[in-house]
């Protein structure tokens, strides 16, 4: 697969179709790939990687890259393509300046899970069918690929690439996913249990803003929380609950636009399951307004941006109530 991507990247550059290619660049190890812009054949030949560790979603970079002179080629996995399309819908990307190569994906791996599975000191990896053989400083270890997939890939919602100029690999379909199962588990808790769960999870937050900065739905030029004049900068929380509110407010802000790409949880250095907040909103919207997937197409309107007479009344909260 990697060779096909590299070949295509080179031919796109050489034919003059694009001026640069956005992809994943090799690192010191097998897993530490960096999103990078490639401008020459040599760079692509030497450094371009597509591997089970190409998890980074490149769609958000297209906001700035599409404003550069000439055209940028970008490789998008199925879930990345949803983010791209949603950004396009919000007029954040100049479509004519981007050439999209859709790439089929079997799910990306989570290095933290590899480490947690007893592979500390990992220096190399080999794929063998559904197994990954990890070479470490302390010997080899065989892992099931399924066990170390990123959370979002374990519950993959779609193998369909929703926007592209060309495809590498097979086009897929939406997948019958059980991604709402963890949300249901939270809903089944008593309010006290749920409150305790979130307080404990969010108490680990160090406010590094990685979740916000990586999020394709968080594309404001200047976030209100970075603006000293807003009075909301909140560099330090007055109490521990204020810190928690940041994430809840952010989830509200991206509700209806979040495609559930899972980048927030992938990058969180403290392993906070932030995606569960967003997924709860998605589930609620599905139940209250009918099924809706952000970034699935250009025409549909987000239920929160649309009004129909059949919309539920705010009082619906009293009838839902959860497990009070």
Partner 1 sequence: MKKLPLSALNTLFAAIAGDRMLYIPADDAAGQGAFTLWKEGMTLSKKGNTNRSAKDLFFPQVENLVSFRTEGKTISIQENREEVAPFAVFGVRACDCRSFDILDRVFLSDPVDTFYQNRRNMGTVISLACSRPEETCFCTAFGIDATDPAGDVTCWMDAENLYWRANTEKGQALTAQLPMLEEGGEEEVSAHQEKTRSILSRLPLAGLDFGFLHDQELMEVFNSPLWDSLSESCLGCGTCTFVCPTCQCYDVEDYDNGREVRRFRCWDSCMYSDFTMMAHGTNRPTQKERFRQRFMHKLVYFPRNNDCLFGCVGCGRCLQKCPIHMNIVKVAKALKEGAK
**Does residue 34 touch partner 1 according to CB under 8 A?**
yes
For residue 94, give both structure tokens: 């100049």
* Closer residue to partner 1, CB minimum distance, 226 or 297: 226
**275-289 and 240-254 helices cross at what angle (nearest 10)?**
50
- Dist CA 209 CA 284 (whole Å): 26
Between CA 136 and CA 30 the distance in angstroms is 12
Which CB atom, from 24 or from 164, has the smaller least distance to partner 1? 24
Write out the two tokens for 283: 């589930």
CB of 101 to partner 1, least distance (A): 18
DSSP letters, 36-91, are: EEE-SHHHHHHHB--STT-----TTHHHHHTTSSS-EEEEE-HHHHHHHHHHHHTT
Indicate whether 305 belongs to the interface with partner 1 (CB under 8 A). Answer: no
Q: Which is nearer to partner 1, 25 or 71 (CB)?
A: 25
Among 170, 228, 315, 321, binds partner 1 (CB under 8 A): 228
Binding range to partner 1, per CB under 8 A, among 81-89, 100-108, 251-259, 262-270: 262-270
- Round to whole Å and give the CA distance between 142 and 95: 43
Draw the binding track, 188-227, toward partner 1 (x: CB under 8 A; -: no contact): ------------xx--x-xxxxx-xxx-------x---xx
How far apart are CB 85 and partner 1 at their closest, in Å?
A: 21
Binding to partner 1 in span 97-156, by CB under 8 A: 111-112, 116, 120-123, 136-138
Measure CA 288 to chain center: 25
Residue (124 or 290) nearer to partner 1, CB? 124
Q: Is residue 270 close enough to count as binding partner 1 by CB under 8 A?
A: yes
Nearer to partner 1, 18 or 296 (CB): 18
Own/partner contacts of 278-283, CB < 8 Å, gap of 24 or more, are 278/251, 278/254, 279/179, 279/180, 279/182, 279/183, 280/183, 280/186, 280/187, 280/251, 281/251, 281/252, 281/255, 281/256, 282/255, 282/258, 283/180, 283/183
CB of 28 to partner 1, least distance (A): 6
Number of residues that bind partner 1 (CB under 8 A): 48
Cross-strand pairs, 141: 134
* Residue among 52, 84, 105, 115 nearest 271 (CA): 115
Round to whole Å and give the CA distance between 284 and 42.
Answer: 49
- Which of 272, 276, 282, 296 is in the footprint of partner 1 by CB under 8 A? 272
Applying CB under 8 A, which of residues 28, 69, 176, 192 lies at the interface with partner 1?
A: 28
Q: Please, which residue, 120 or 130, has the CB nearer to partner 1? A: 120
Q: Give the nearest distance from C-beta 24 to partner 1 in angstroms.
A: 10
Q: How far apart are the first and last CA of the chain?
A: 51
Gap between the Cα atoms of 152 and 83, Å rounded: 14
Could you say whether residue 67 binds partner 1 (CB under 8 A)?
A: no
Distance from C-alpha of 232 to C-alpha of 175, rounded to nearest angstrom: 40
238 near partner 1, judged by CB under 8 A:
yes
Name the minimum Å distance from CB 269 to partner 1: 4
Which range binds partner 1 by CB under 8 A, 27-35, 139-147, 282-290, 293-301? 27-35
Could you give the angle at which helices 191-202 and 240-254 cross, rounded to 10 degrees? 100
* List of residues contacting partner 1 (CB under 8 A): 27-29, 31-37, 56, 61, 111-112, 116, 120-123, 136-138, 200-201, 204, 206-210, 212-214, 222, 226-228, 233, 235-238, 266-267, 269-272
């Amino acid at each position: 697969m990697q060779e096909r991507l590299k070949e295509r990247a080179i031919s796109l550059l050489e034919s003059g179709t694009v001026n640069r290619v956005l992809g994943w660049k090799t690192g010191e190890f097998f897993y530490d790939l960096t999103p990078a812009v490639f401008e020459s054949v040599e760079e692509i030949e030497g450094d371009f990687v597509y591997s089970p560790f190409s998890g980074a979603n490149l769609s958000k970079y297209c906001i700035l890259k599409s404003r550069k002179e000439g055209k940028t080629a970008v490789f998008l996995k199925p879930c990345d393509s949803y983010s791209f399309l949603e950004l396009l819908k919000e007029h954040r990307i100049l479509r004519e300046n981007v050439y999209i190569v859709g790439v089929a994906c079997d799910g990306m791996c989570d290095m933290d899970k590899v480490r947690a599975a007893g592979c500390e000191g990992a220096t190399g990896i080999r794929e063998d069918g559904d197994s990954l053989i990890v070479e470490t400083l302390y010997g080899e270890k065989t892992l099931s690929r399924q066990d170390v997939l990123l959370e979002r890939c374990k519950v993959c919602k779609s193998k369909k690439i929703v926007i592209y100029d060309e495809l590498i690999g097979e086009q897929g379909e939406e997948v019958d996913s059980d991604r709402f199962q963890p949300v249901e588990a939270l809903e089944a808790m008593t309010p006290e249990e749920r409150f305790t769960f979130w307080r404990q999870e969010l108490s680990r937050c160090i406010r590094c803003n990685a979740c916000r900065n990586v999020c394709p739905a968080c594309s404001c030029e200047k976030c209100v929380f970075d603006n000293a004049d807003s009075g909301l900068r909140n560099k330090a929380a007055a109490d521990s609950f204020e810190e928690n509110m940041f994430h809840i407010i952010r989830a509200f802000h991206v509700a209806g636009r979040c495609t559930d790409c899972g980048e927030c949880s992938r990058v969180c250095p403290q392993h906070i399951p932030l995606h569960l907040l967003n997924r709860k909103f998605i589930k609620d919207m599905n139940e209250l307004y009918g099924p809706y997937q952000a970034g699935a197409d250009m025409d549909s309107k987000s239920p929160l941006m649309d009004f129909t007479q059949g919309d539920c009344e705010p009082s619906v909260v009293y009838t839902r109530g959860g497990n009070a």
